[in-house]
Chains A and B, each alone.
Chain A
Amino acid sequence: MADHRIIAAGLTRQKYRGLVYGIAGLAILGLLAGFVLDQHFAGTIIYLLGAWTAGGIAVLAPMLSEATLQDERDWELHNRASGILIGVTMLIGLSMLPALYVLDAGSYIEITGTVSGVIFTLSALFLLYGVCLGIAKRRI
């Protein structure tokens, strides 16, 4: 473990955040550049490498560093942000989706393939949220 800590030596919270957000930002820029320059495969590779590197640093650095890079308040912030996101999305979803389907059935609007895709994605996310909530409940 001592050797591992040397790897992350000198990493402050500010540098840690800059590194994670910087690499993630470059990954997104790479993906967009690949899209614009018609180099989709290269863009995707850059994005995946960047996303995995940033994700790896985000998870591993707090374990390997002597400095406190993350603490309980960060987790509390994540929990609150996740709760707000789920709440807002659920409110919008529950209030709008039934109305959309009724209007579609009445031929006032047409639910296109894209909208259907969004609805299925949101439904899958809520299902996943339910599974994660079930897992979390087992631990508390």
Chain B
Amino acid sequence: MQNDLSKRREDEGLSQGELAEAVGVTRQTINAIERNRYDPSLELAFKLAAHFNCSIEDIFGPEGQ
């Protein structure tokens, strides 16, 4: 799965740690998601979508799309 989490976070001027704190995970988890090394749970995906006020599909999508 690919995502544009890094871009969205930087657009908001947030550090990985600040975003992590906002959605209740560790900075390492945000870093792993941004590097496409970890696919978040549905619960975390919903939290991220809620934080950026968009849908999950806006942030995450299948590889190659």
Binary interface encoding of chain B residues 8-40 relative to chain A, with 1 for a CB under 8 A from any of its CBs, else 0: 000000000000110011101100100000101
Name the CB-closest residue of A to B37: A73
Measured in the bound complex, the distance between the Cα atoms of B29 and A1 in whole Å is: 27
Q: Are A68 and B38 touching (Cβ within 8 A)?
A: no
Measured in the bound complex, the distance between the Cα atoms of B21 and A68 in whole Å is: 8
Contact of A73 among B21, B24, B26, B43 (CB under 8 A): B26
Q: CB-CB < 8 A to B65: which residues of A?
A: none
Measured in the bound complex, the distance between the Cα atoms of B24 and A71 in whole Å is: 8
Name the CB-closest residue of A to B33: A73
Binary interface encoding of chain A residues 44-82 relative to chain B, with 1 for a CB under 8 A from any of its CBs, else 0: 000000000000000000000000111111101000000
Measured in the bound complex, the distance between the Cα atoms of B20 and A122 in whole Å is: 40
Q: CB-CB < 8 A to B21: which residues of A?
A: 68
What is the interface size of chain B, counting residues whose CB is below 8 A from a CB of the partner? Answer: 13
**Which residues of chain A (73-117) have a CB below 8 Å from chain B?**
73-74, 76
Judge if A40 is at the interface, Cβ distance under 8 Å: no
Judge if B44 is at the interface, Cβ distance under 8 Å: yes
Which residues of B approach A to under 8 Å, CB–CB? Answer: 20-21, 24-26, 28-29, 32, 38, 40-41, 43-44
In the assembled complex, 26 residue pairs joining A and B whose CB atoms fall closer than 8 Å, in A order, are A13-B26, A68-B20, A68-B21, A68-B24, A68-B25, A68-B26, A69-B26, A70-B26, A71-B24, A71-B25, A71-B26, A71-B29, A72-B25, A72-B29, A72-B40, A72-B41, A72-B43, A72-B44, A73-B25, A73-B26, A73-B28, A73-B29, A73-B32, A73-B38, A74-B26, A76-B38
* Top 9 A-B pairs, shortest CB-CB distance: A71-B25, A73-B29, A71-B26, A72-B41, A68-B26, A71-B29, A73-B38, A68-B24, A13-B26
Apart from A68-B24, A71-B24, A72-B44: 5 A-B pairs, beta carbons within 8 A: A68-B21, A68-B25, A70-B26, A73-B25, A74-B26
Which residues of A approach B to under 8 Å, CB–CB? Answer: 13, 68-74, 76
